[in-house]
Amino acid sequence: MDSLVIAGKSFRSRLFIGTGKFASTSVMAAAIEASGTEMVTVALRRVDIQNPCDDMLSAIDRTRYQLLPNTSGARDAAEAVRLARLARAASGIHWVKLEVTPDPYYLLPDGTETLKAAETLVKEGFVVLPYIHADPVLAKRLQEVGCATVMPLASPIGSNQGMRTKDSIAIIIEQATVPVVVDAGLGAPSHAAEAMEMGADAVLVNTAIATAADPVRMAAAFKQAVEAGRLAYEAGLPPKSTTAQASSPLTGFLRNE
């Protein structure tokens, strides 16, 4: 399979993993391992002063995995830029998954604020991977301001509904000159395979793995699905037909015509 290249960095795995919602740090680490991923997302939050707990980053081998801090919780461009700067100060990492989600119910991204934040962060030297609605026009605008990828949602974050925005994602894939990462809402390995068969460059999965009965086995299932989907895309899917196209020869039947 081809490697995926983002901002000059090569990735063999096309599955990115989110680290939220895992029952424990050890399960998270085992799921990351089983997934074969090379890119994991993390979030920034206030320390609980009464209860400062362990550093979850210590469970992630940063020589093997590209850490991708997100700006989750940001409600506008200013908050997202602040979070990205804090993440860079905390980790030295200048990659950021840019997300601006003012609406707490559907967590849909605010395109206007995302574009504004992306322009600022690109100028400050960040590698920006913006989380967006499956909006082909916005995807182009983000690409034009220098984003390293676009990350359209399949369906709302954590909803497990799969590829509800399939038609728009197909247009984004057709037009994009940067990698397209389908993010959010992929609830089953088949959803991930579907995105990859369409030509998505990668997928990002968190909830479907972290909240599965067995997150480690689910991570392995997503790994295989992503690989299968990519392989099928590279192999070239045959065209669809509304009528049957016989697989066996239509001559030499054992009957008299």
* Residue 55 in the binding site for another protein (CB under 8 A): yes
Residue 157 sits in the site that holds another protein (CB under 8 A): yes
**Cβ atoms of residues 213 and 28 within 8 Å:** no
Active-site entry in 97, 140, 166, 240: 97
196 or 204, CB closer to another protein? 204
| C-alpha span between 66 and 93 (Å, rounded) | 9
- Residues numbered 178 to 197 that lie near another protein (CB under 8 A) are 184
Let me know if 116 is a catalytic residue.
no
Which stretch of DSSP H or E encloses residue 211? none
For residue 28 the two structure tokens come to: 């998270």
Residue 89 found at the interface with another protein (CB under 8 A)? yes
Across 90-117, b (16+ Cβ under 10 Å) vs e yields: eeebbbbbbbbbeeeeebbbbbebbbbb
List 20, 122, 161, 168, residue binding another protein (CB under 8 A):
20
Between 89 and 244, name the residue whose CB sits nearer to another protein.
89
- List the one residue out of 41, 45, 124, 40 whose CA is nearest residue 77: 124
> Does 1 engage in binding with another protein (CB under 8 A)?
no
User: According to CB under 8 A, which one of 18, 36, 152, 162 is a site residue for another protein?
Assistant: 18
How is residue 25 written in tokens?
Answer: 């740090």
Residues making contact with another protein (CB under 8 A): 18-22, 28, 41-47, 49, 52, 54-58, 69-70, 72, 85-87, 89-91, 157-158, 184, 204, 206-207
